Protein backbone atom coordinates (compact mmCIF):
# COMPACT_ATOMS: atom_id res chain seq x y z
CA UNK A 1 0.00 0.00 0.00
CA UNK A 2 1.14 3.52 -0.74
CA UNK A 3 1.84 5.90 2.04
CA UNK A 4 4.24 8.24 3.81
CA UNK A 5 6.99 6.90 6.02
CA UNK A 6 8.60 9.10 8.63
CA UNK A 7 11.65 8.04 10.57
CA UNK A 8 12.72 7.82 13.26
CA UNK A 9 9.59 7.77 15.41
CA UNK A 10 11.52 9.29 18.34
CA UNK A 11 14.63 11.46 18.13
CA UNK A 12 16.78 13.15 20.73
CA UNK A 13 18.97 16.17 20.09
CA UNK A 14 21.90 17.44 22.08
CA UNK A 15 22.68 21.12 22.44
CA UNK A 16 24.37 22.53 19.34
CA UNK A 17 23.55 19.51 17.23
CA UNK A 18 21.79 19.35 13.88
CA UNK A 19 19.39 16.46 13.34
CA UNK A 20 17.61 15.27 10.21
CA UNK A 21 14.11 13.85 10.04
CA UNK A 22 13.31 11.57 7.15
CA UNK A 23 10.13 11.64 5.06
CA UNK A 24 9.59 9.23 2.15
CA UNK A 25 6.43 8.77 0.09
CA UNK A 26 5.48 6.21 -2.54
CA UNK A 27 2.24 7.88 -3.56
CA UNK A 28 3.81 9.59 -6.59
CA UNK A 29 2.73 12.94 -5.13
CA UNK A 30 4.35 16.14 -6.37
CA UNK A 31 3.83 18.35 -3.32
CA UNK A 32 5.28 17.66 0.14
CA UNK A 33 5.05 19.55 3.43
CA UNK A 34 6.53 19.72 6.90
CA UNK A 35 4.49 20.79 9.92
CA UNK A 36 5.31 21.29 13.55
CA UNK A 37 2.77 20.42 16.23
CA UNK A 38 3.16 21.51 19.85
CA UNK A 39 1.11 19.98 22.68
CA UNK A 40 -2.52 21.02 22.48
CA UNK A 41 -1.85 23.10 19.41
CA UNK A 42 -2.66 22.99 15.74
CA UNK A 43 -0.24 22.50 12.87
CA UNK A 44 2.23 25.16 11.81
CA UNK A 45 3.79 25.00 8.36
CA UNK A 46 7.60 24.90 8.28
CA UNK A 47 8.43 24.31 4.61
CA UNK A 48 6.69 22.99 1.54
CA UNK A 49 7.75 21.84 -1.90
CA UNK A 50 5.56 21.70 -4.97
CA UNK A 51 8.13 20.10 -7.25
CA UNK A 52 11.58 18.53 -7.18
CA UNK A 53 14.44 20.99 -6.56
CA UNK A 54 12.05 23.71 -5.41
CA UNK A 55 10.71 24.57 -1.96
CA UNK A 56 9.23 27.53 -0.11
CA UNK A 57 9.33 28.73 3.48
CA UNK A 58 6.24 28.33 5.55
CA UNK A 59 5.25 30.31 8.61
CA UNK A 60 8.00 29.12 10.96
CA UNK A 61 11.01 28.27 8.74
CA UNK A 62 13.71 29.86 10.94
CA UNK A 63 16.08 27.25 12.35
CA UNK A 64 15.03 24.61 9.83
CA UNK A 65 16.26 23.57 6.38
CA UNK A 66 15.00 21.15 3.72
CA UNK A 67 16.00 19.64 0.41
CA UNK A 68 13.99 18.06 -2.39
CA UNK A 69 16.39 16.17 -4.63
CA UNK A 70 13.97 13.34 -5.36
CA UNK A 71 10.23 13.32 -5.81
CA UNK A 72 9.69 10.75 -3.08
CA UNK A 73 11.92 12.31 -0.42
CA UNK A 74 11.71 15.54 1.58
CA UNK A 75 14.09 15.48 4.59
CA UNK A 76 13.91 18.16 7.27
CA UNK A 77 17.00 19.30 9.19
CA UNK A 78 16.49 20.91 12.57
CA UNK A 79 19.55 23.07 13.06
CA UNK A 80 21.19 24.31 16.24
CA UNK A 81 19.67 27.72 15.45
CA UNK A 82 16.26 26.35 16.39
CA UNK A 83 16.28 27.05 20.11
CA UNK A 84 13.05 25.30 21.00
CA UNK A 85 12.90 22.21 18.78
CA UNK A 86 10.92 19.94 21.12
CA UNK A 87 7.74 19.11 19.21
CA UNK A 88 5.94 16.53 17.09
CA UNK A 89 6.87 16.84 13.40
CA UNK A 90 4.51 15.76 10.66
CA UNK A 91 5.23 15.25 6.98
CA UNK A 92 2.43 15.37 4.41
CA UNK A 93 1.94 15.17 0.65
CA UNK A 94 -0.64 15.91 -2.03
CA UNK A 95 -0.89 15.24 -5.76
CA UNK A 96 0.40 18.18 -7.79
CA UNK A 97 -2.09 20.73 -9.08
CA UNK A 98 -4.89 18.91 -7.29
CA UNK A 99 -6.80 21.59 -5.47
CA UNK A 100 -9.56 19.34 -4.20
CA UNK A 101 -7.35 16.58 -2.90
CA UNK A 102 -6.63 16.16 0.80
CA UNK A 103 -3.19 15.94 2.34
CA UNK A 104 -1.87 12.53 3.32
CA UNK A 105 0.15 12.39 6.52
CA UNK A 106 2.90 10.26 7.95
CA UNK A 107 2.85 9.04 11.56
CA UNK A 108 5.19 11.74 12.76
CA UNK A 109 8.54 12.09 14.53
CA UNK A 110 8.73 13.23 18.14
CA UNK A 111 11.85 15.30 18.77
CA UNK A 112 13.12 15.99 22.27
CA UNK A 113 16.13 17.75 23.76
CA UNK A 114 18.61 15.79 25.87
Partner 1 sequence: GDSVTQMEGPVTLSEEAFLTINCTYTATGYPSLFWYVQYPGEGLQLLLKATKADDKGSNKGFEATYRKETTSFHLEKGSVQVSDSAVYFCALSDLNNFNKFYFGSGTKLNVKP
> Pick from 34, 47, 48, 74: which binds partner 1 (CB under 8 A)?
48
Report in angstroms how near the CB of residue 14 gets to partner 1 at its nearest.
24
How wide is the angle at C-alpha 31 spanned by C-alphas 53 and 110, nearest 5°? Answer: 95
Q: Is 90 an interacting residue with respect to partner 1 (CB under 8 A)?
A: yes
Which residue from 1, 15, 42, 83 is in contact with partner 1, where contact means CB under 8 A?
A: 42
Q: Can you tell me which of 11, 13, 22, 50 binds partner 1, judged by CB under 8 A?
A: 50
Rounded to whole angstroms, how far apart are CA atoms 52 and 104?
A: 18
Does 105 sit near partner 1 (CB under 8 A)? yes
Instruction: Supply the DSSP string of 40-67, one letter for each residue.
Output: T--EEEEEEEEETTEEEE-TT-TTEEE-
Which has the closest alpha carbon to 53: 75, 35, 78, 70? 70
Phi, psi of 87 (to 5 degrees): -175, 175
- Tell me, by CB under 8 A, how many residues bind partner 1: 26
Binding site for partner 1 (CB under 8 A): 4, 6, 31, 33, 40-43, 45, 48, 50, 90, 92, 94, 96-97, 99-100, 102-108, 110
Amino acid sequence: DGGITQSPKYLFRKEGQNVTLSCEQNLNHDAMYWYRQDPGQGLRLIYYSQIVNDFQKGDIAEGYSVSREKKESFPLTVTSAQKNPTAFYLCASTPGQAVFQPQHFGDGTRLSIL
